[in-house]
Structure 1
Amino acid sequence: MQNKYENNPKKFWQTINLLLHPDKATTPEPTTSNQSAFANPEDAMRHGGLQYHRDDATVERYRRAHRNDMENIFPFLFLGAIYSLLGPNLLLARIHFLVFFIFRIVHTVAYLFALRAPIRSVAYSIAQLPCFSMALQILTAVINYC
């Protein structure tokens, strides 16, 4: 039996990346409630008063991780979509998508759990390699087309 993603790895990895995104979108709320720290006065008033209106390091860490993922995943999805339209080698496309996916997860975990500094920056750098490779192949295809 053939895997339905065998001929289109882009859809599989994009789906996985999008599944990660909503998960992080909901994590600051439970963290905020557990820490009794709310980012705006309206939420603080609803949950006990203005004394709970404060910044919390854990909540801010989750928010920054979520924002960082949005800033990196959406451009990758855009590049991946255009790259897939070029009809690339399927093995090479799978490697691009898999490397990005794995190292974005490593980066997010390193961000959320405050792991040693080189882990996060190395994971970020490696995750950017497929983006640069796809962008270069897209530019090469455009130049060859013109």
Structure 2
Amino acid sequence: MLHNRALSCFVVYGALLIVKMYVVAIITGQVRLRKKAFANPEDAVRHGGLQYQREDEDVERCRRAHRNDMENILPFLFLGAVYCMLEPSLMAAHAHFLVFFLGRLLHTVAYLGKLRAPIRSVAYSIAQLPCFSMAVQILVAALSS
């Protein structure tokens, strides 16, 4: 891995993105506890009674943010790993990974912070650009070999 600096860079950003996903999961759990809104009856009973087995808009917002991460970060992890096999320049790879990471970070902040539109949508779109770029480069390389 040390010989492929793009891969080393990718591993750092991939790990940061996964940590970010874990943080969103922890925030979701904390919001559930604070709002007393549990999905499962056994959790509701443990925290006061079945009346707390309910949905809450803030919990659902956290869940949507987490689901959006899974829908976008998991494909990035595949694309980034394959992209590194193309041996891109470190600068190009770093730019792809950094833009995706910052876009996803801003997306999460906008989602959980209820920032005004279109901040979340812009962040989402920005993060899609490096994924599209990597996908195109992978396809070109695969089709030309």
Mark yes or no: TM-score above 0.5: yes
**Letter matched to residue 38 of structure 2:** F
Contact 1:61 1:112 in 2 (8 A): yes
Q: Distance in 2 between matches of 1:103 and 1:115?
A: 14
Give, in angstroms, the shift of residue 5 of structure 1.
10
2:65 is the alignment partner of 1:75: no
Give the total of aligned pairs. Answer: 142
For the residue of structure 2 that corresponds to 1:72, the secondary structure is helix
Q: Distance in 2 between matches of 1:131 and 1:58?
A: 29
Contact 1:5 1:11 in 2 (8 A): no
Q: Distance in 2 between matches of 1:5 and 1:105?
A: 29
For the residue of structure 2 that corresponds to 1:27, the secondary structure is helix
Aligned match of 2:98: 98
**Which is further off, 5-14 or 31-40?**
5-14
Contact 2:4 2:87 in 1 (8 A): no
Give, in angstroms, the shift of residue 35 of structure 1.
0.7
**Letter matched to residue 33 of structure 1:** L
Q: Distance in 1 between matches of 2:56 and 2:17?
A: 27
Aligned match of 1:116: 116
Give, in angstroms, the shift of residue 70 of structure 1.
0.9
Indicate how the Cα distance of structure 1 residues 48 and 23 shifts in structure 2: closer, same or farther if over 3 A, else same.
Answer: same
Indicate how the Cα distance of structure 1 residues 30 and 5 shifts in structure 2: closer, same or farther if over 3 A, else same.
Answer: farther
Contact 1:111 1:120 in 2 (8 A): yes
Q: Cα deviation per residue 1:64-93 (whole Å; 9 max; x = unaligned)? A: 101110110010010000000110111000
**Letter matched to residue 36 of structure 2:** S
Q: Distance in 2 between matches of 1:124 and 1:76?
A: 13
TM-score, reference length from structure 1: 0.92
Percent identity (aligned): 58
- Identify unmatched segments of 5+ residues in structure 2: none
Give, in angstroms, the shift of residue 39 of structure 1.
1.6
Give, in angstroms, the shift of residue 24 of structure 1.
1.4
Indicate how the Cα distance of structure 1 residues 100 and 31 shifts in structure 2: closer, same or farther if over 3 A, else same.
Answer: same
Indicate how the Cα distance of structure 1 residues 5 and 29 shifts in structure 2: closer, same or farther if over 3 A, else same.
Answer: farther
Q: CA RMSD in A?
A: 1.5
TM-score, reference length from structure 2: 0.93
**Letter matched to residue 90 of structure 1:** L
**Which is further off, 18-27 or 76-85?**
18-27
Aligned match of 1:128: 128
Aligned match of 2:139: 139
Aligned match of 2:16: 16
